[in-house]
Structure 1
Amino acid sequence: MQAIVVTPVKDALEATLETVQAISDAKGVYDYWVFNDYSTDQTKAALETASKAKGFKLIHLEDVTSNPSPNYKTVLQLSQKSALEAGLPLIVVESDVKINPDTLESLVNFSNENPNVGLVGAITQDAEGKVNFPYLKFKQLKSKDPAKTTRSLSFCCTLISKNFLKKYDFTDLDNSKDWYDTHISQKSISLGFDNYILPDLPVWHRPHGSRPWKQLKYKNPILYYFRKWFLGKDKI
């Protein structure tokens, strides 16, 4: 076993099933968990069918917590516990990401070769192979070599190292937040770890495909920011 791999899911069934298939086809041996975060009954049933066919572990978060979606903190806490018990790194692959066959193995190999790694992320691209959100900030990198960075990594497709998991307890994550990639990126650096982005390890990312309601940011920004600021949604 090389890593614990987890995918949080909130509907977006077609993209989710592509993510699941790509992880099932990945080189290497992984313990794969899918966390269904209060999706529709249709998505729930499809995931149960896929779990039987592909052999991944399916957790319905409605059986774990009464907190409404998003439940990223719960996903991270359960995943950290499993990774620490297994003595393995944790890889988050979100359900709007399609990896390549060598993606997971490359992340694990890089982590093994660089023991001070905290987080290491595969760079995101669109269907045409152009760097896209959330890694547009790395678009100007001239080299394909691994790039150490103090900028935040996203959890699109990111490995969290065993050593970092041992040092930072995810039960300390802020309950008032919805998303934790920025905080965990910063925490890794503050604890003395190095974070990297891998420009030569692309994955296909469909921005916000895992949380379709976040498309409001582009389709109706006034409504999106009303929800964010006045209703306390999408807290980073």
Structure 2
Amino acid sequence: MQAIVVTPVKDALKATLQTIRAIYQSDTDFSYIVFNDNSTTETRIALEAESKRLGYELIHLEDITETPSPNYKTVLQIAQQRAVAQKLPLVIIESDVTIQTDTLRRLLEFNGGQVNPGLVGAITHDERGEINFPYLKFKDQQGAAIKTNRSLSFCCTLLSLGFLEKYDFRGLDVSKDWYDTHISHKATELGFDNFILMEVPVIHQPHASRPWKMLKYKNPLLYYFKKWFLGKDKI
């Protein structure tokens, strides 16, 4: 076993199954956990059937917490506990991402070759092969691996064992929905190096599981109304 891999799921069943099946094409040994975050009954049944077929561990978050979706904090806490207990890095692959056969191996090889890695992210592409959200900020960067103090997304990101052992996710702010920005900055604050791998592409379908977030691009006024006045998307 070389890594603990986790995928948080909130419906978007077609994209989710594509994510899961691509992970199982990996040329690397891993342990896999899918976290179902209060999806519909249809999605729950499909995930259970796929779990029986492929053998991954399936955790229904509604069975262990009454907190409404998103429950990313709970996902991170359970995943960290498993990774630290097994002395393995953690790789988060979200349910709107399709990885390549060698993605996990290349993330792990890069991580193993660094002195003090924190987070290592795979660059996101659209289906045409162009860099897309959330990594447009790296579009004009040169080099195979970019060391960065800028935040990484959890689209497809490795969190090193060293970092997981040093920063306890039980202290994450319960008022937030998402933690990639906070954790990225915490890693550099603690002296770890974060990287984005420009030659390790994954296909990203932004916000497939939470389509209302596309309002950020289509209707930003409505998006920020929902964000600030309805308390959604707290980073």
Q: Is 1:216 aligned with 2:215?
A: yes
Q: Post-superposition shift, 1:214?
A: 1.5
Distance in 2 between the 1:94 and 1:225 partners? 24
Distance in 1 between the 2:88 and 2:212 partners? 33
Q: Post-superposition shift, 1:226?
A: 1.3
Distance in 2 between the 1:163 and 1:234 partners? 29
2:16 is matched with: 16
Q: TM-score, normalised by structure 2?
A: 0.98
**Do the aligned partners of 1:37 and 1:70 also contact (CA within 8 Å) in 2?**
yes
Unaligned runs of 5+ in 2: none
Q: Post-superposition shift, 1:16?
A: 0.2
Larger displacement relative to structure 2 (212-221 or 77-86): 212-221
Task: Among all aligned residue pairs of Structure 1 and Structure 2, give the percentage whose two residues are the same amino acid.
Answer: 64
Task: Look up the equivalent residue of 2:94 and give its one-letter code.
Answer: E
Unaligned runs of 5+ in 1: none
Q: Is 1:54 aligned with 2:54?
A: yes
SS in 2 for 1:59: strand
Q: Is 1:42 aligned with 2:42?
A: yes
**Do the aligned partners of 1:94 and 1:210 also contact (CA within 8 Å) in 2?**
no
Q: Deviations over 1:166-221 (max 9, x none)?
A: 00000111011000000000000000000000000000001111322212223333
**Do the aligned partners of 1:124 and 1:131 also contact (CA within 8 Å) in 2?**
yes
Q: Is 1:146 aligned with 2:157?
A: no
Q: Is 1:133 aligned with 2:136?
A: no
Let me know the Cα RMSD of the aligned residues: 0.8
Q: Deviations over 1:69-118 (max 9, x none)?
A: 00000000000000011110000000000000000011111111113000
2:205 is matched with: 206
2:96 is matched with: 96
Task: Look up the equivalent residue of 2:14 and give its one-letter code.
Answer: E
SS in 2 for 1:106: helix
Distance in 1 between the 2:115 and 2:80 partners? 18
Question: Any runs of at least 4 consecutive aligned residues in structure 1 with deviations exceeding 3 A, and if so which?
Answer: none
SS in 1 for 2:49: helix
Q: Post-superposition shift, 1:4?
A: 0.2
Q: Post-superposition shift, 1:224?
A: 1.8
Q: Post-superposition shift, 1:3?
A: 0.2
Distance in 1 between the 2:103 and 2:96 partners? 15
SS in 1 for 2:82: helix
Distance in 2 between the 1:28 and 1:11 partners? 27
**Do the aligned partners of 1:35 and 1:60 also contact (CA within 8 Å) in 2?**
yes
1:32 is matched with: 32
**Do the aligned partners of 1:12 and 1:212 also contact (CA within 8 Å) in 2?**
no
Q: TM-score, normalised by structure 1?
A: 0.98
SS in 1 for 2:141: coil
1:155 is matched with: 154
**Do the aligned partners of 1:147 and 1:196 also contact (CA within 8 Å) in 2?**
yes
Larger displacement relative to structure 2 (216-225 or 19-28): 216-225
